[in-house]
A and B are shown apart, each in its own frame.
Chain A
Amino acid sequence: MSTRSKQDRRRFMNVIETDSLSYIYPGTSKPSIRDVSIQIQKGEFVLITGPSGCGKTTLCRCLNGLIPHFYQGELKGSITVAGLNVVNQQIYELAKHVGFVFQNPENQLFALSVEKDVAFGLENLGVSREDMRQKVDWAMNQSGIYDLRERAPQELSGGQQQRVAIASVLAMQPEIIVLDEPTSFLDPLSAKRIFEVVYDLNRKLGITVILVEHRLDLTARYADHIIVMDEGTVCQDGDPRVILQSEEARLIGIGVPKATRLYQILKKDGARLDAEVPLCSEEMADIIREALKNR
């Protein structure tokens, strides 16, 4: 879908690469993902979306080695993450490269203070004290929770808790962060702040972000690359602006942002709009302003 051909893409550095990856959970017979071949370049902000049960979460579990090391079952094909063959690596080795943020931060936080939670992963790696101090402070600053460092995670709001979860992952300085619907439980403003923190980490530090989301209204604007899954397979893979206005995307039933939808139906009804398809309201407002100027 992208302007670059597949072969060209191989010349860029792929931080994640799967080839014909299929997986069947134990006790089931139908593959949860089937023949998934994707390439993700270093520094990309990737959005994975698709109907519920399409295999998004299963694919993410392969990225940090939970599959095949924690979930048994049958894995076929190959998967390389940060240059490591996931199947041959220990989970703790992969954890240095891939951080995971879940839907519900309550399931991830357990320590008595924010600081201790953020330090936990490093303690397990046997990092020196000064080094740990520095990394923990840095991670808390990046996530905007430095002022909360002595508080108990349980006392914090959902949005603050999710930022603690992000800081805990960040302290490990991973090259890749995978977030599985990280803001489902948050109010819209807190959700927006989380996405902005993540986007900032992506732009400033070049961390590769893999975000699993249904709510493209909130997230499409950040994406360089969208992967749409349906029934365990990848059905679209490429440029968000191309994919979100495709008929296919609409038919699978992914939630095309309203600004994109408005642009599409205006175009269809013959409105004069020249600019590229918008992914958010700000872009759409600019397009309307511009169109009126050129009348």
Chain B
Amino acid sequence: MIEAKDVRFTYPSGVEALKGVTVTISEGDFVAIMGQNGAGKTTLVKHFNGLLKPTKGKVLVDGIETTKVSVARLARNVGFVFQNPDHQLFGETVEDEISFGLRNFGFEKTVVGTRVTWALNLLALAQYRKTSPFMLSGGERKRVALASVLAWDPKILILDEPTIGQDYQQKEKLRQFIMQMQTQKRTIIIVTHDVEFVAECNPRVLLMSDGQIIADDEAAQILTNTKVLEQASIVPPQIAQIFLDLPELDLPKHIIDVYEARNLLLNLLGKEKSG
């Protein structure tokens, strides 16, 4: 469980990035943090694994204040995958990269081997085992960074912009993977601009603007609320937008799913006579 209590954070440059954030993320939650560039999303999640400490207020992870433990100890439970994989990768081969964390946490050699293979297969990277991460495409490097954190199986997983540069199939795999983690009571926190991805996953959404959380609700509620979306520089997903463009039809408001939209419209439009 993560508890942020009136967290304020000012960067050394004087920029006040968080202006009093209070939020609780429970074990097994799936949360998407959304908002415009510079809203404080990444600053907030960096508090969850202790990379940043609040200027005022406090952050507790499983009841322990982040100022009281080292980042290295927190990392065992809170895995963090950065937005830009190049800030994270340094290994000579993809295999080295993925095994690094495992070796650091003192896993046995045989366990390291199986975990690495598991992570490589999960993220469709097996063919690159002996390749330098820097030979790979942006989207592939991003998957290496994710694999290297998943390998040690942290209880809480923070993914900063996981869908950037990923194609539709990779996104679909990521979605299924998150769902699978959910069944194991893992906590997943993603920071993302990808409204279509959020619409498909339907997580709890924390909407941020100017260093504060301005809305905290289910995705279907927030992604159809044009007032708060505008404040956060987010455009509604396409399905929501279709319904927003047709106010005269007096249809239910909170539709973000293609199949739900189909059912509603099929009733309305009627079917062609078959045969």
Q: If the complex has contacts A184-B165, A273-B269, A288-B242, are A253 and B172 also in contact, measured as CB distance less than 8 A?
A: yes
- In the bound assembly, the distance between CA atoms of A25 and B270 in angstroms comes to 55
List A residues 243-266 near B (Cβ within 8 Å).
253-259, 261-262, 265-266
B81 → A minimal CB distance (Å): 16
The closest CB in chain B to the CB of A257 belongs to: B238
Chain A residues near B194: list those with CB within 8 A. 215
Beta-carbon contact of A258 and B258 below 8 Å: yes
- In the bound assembly, the distance between CA atoms of A51 and B143 in angstroms comes to 14
Chain A residues near B83: list those with CB within 8 A. 185
- In the bound assembly, the distance between CA atoms of A108 and B196 in angstroms comes to 28
B71 → A minimal CB distance (Å): 25
Q: If the complex has contacts A253-B172, A262-B262, A281-B241, are A214 and B166 also in contact, measured as CB distance less than 8 A?
A: yes
Query: Does A217 touch B at the CB level, under 8 Å?
Result: yes
Query: Does A103 touch B at the CB level, under 8 Å?
Result: yes
A52 → B minimal CB distance (Å): 3
Which of the residues B164, B232, B241, B258 comes within 8 Å of A265, measured between beta carbons?
B258
- In the bound assembly, the distance between CA atoms of A259 and B258 in angstroms comes to 8
- In the bound assembly, the distance between CA atoms of A78 and B102 in angstroms comes to 48
Query: Does A14 touch B at the CB level, under 8 Å?
Result: no
Query: Does A192 touch B at the CB level, under 8 Å?
Result: yes
- In the bound assembly, the distance between CA atoms of A76 and B79 in angstroms comes to 45
The closest CB in chain A to the CB of B36 belongs to: A187
Beta-carbon contact of B139 and A52 below 8 Å: yes
The closest CB in chain B to the CB of A255 belongs to: B168
Which of the residues A54, A158, A185, A281 comes within 8 Å of B242, measured between beta carbons?
A281
B26 → A minimal CB distance (Å): 27
Query: Does A188 touch B at the CB level, under 8 Å?
Result: yes
Which of the residues B84, B199, B234 comes within 8 Å of A189, measured between beta carbons?
B234
- In the bound assembly, the distance between CA atoms of A187 and B208 in angstroms comes to 12
Beta-carbon contact of B242 and A284 below 8 Å: yes
Which of the residues A191, A253, A258 comes within 8 Å of B238, measured between beta carbons?
A258
Beta-carbon contact of B165 and A271 below 8 Å: no
Give the contact-size bracket for chain A: 35 or more
Beta-carbon contact of B271 and A269 below 8 Å: yes
Beta-carbon contact of A159 and B269 below 8 Å: no
Chain B residues near A184: list those with CB within 8 A. 164-165
List B residues 238-275 near A (Cβ within 8 Å).
238-239, 241-242, 245-246, 249, 258-259, 261-262, 265-266, 268-272, 274
Beta-carbon contact of B246 and A285 below 8 Å: yes
Beta-carbon contact of A261 and B167 below 8 Å: no
Having A258-B196, A291-B269, one finds 17 other A-B pairs with CB under 8 Å, namely A53-B140, A187-B233, A188-B195, A189-B234, A214-B168, A253-B169, A258-B199, A259-B239, A266-B265, A269-B262, A269-B266, A269-B271, A270-B271, A272-B270, A272-B272, A281-B238, A295-B270
Residues of chain B having any CB pair with chain A under 8 Å: 35-38, 83-84, 135-140, 161, 164-172, 193-196, 199, 232-235, 237-239, 241-242, 245-246, 249, 258-259, 261-262, 265-266, 268-272, 274
24 example contacts (A-B, Cβ-Cβ < 8 A) are as follows A50-B167, A51-B167, A51-B168, A51-B169, A53-B136, A57-B137, A188-B235, A189-B233, A214-B166, A215-B194, A217-B237, A255-B171, A256-B168, A257-B238, A258-B199, A258-B239, A262-B242, A265-B258, A269-B266, A271-B265, A271-B266, A272-B270, A272-B271, A272-B272
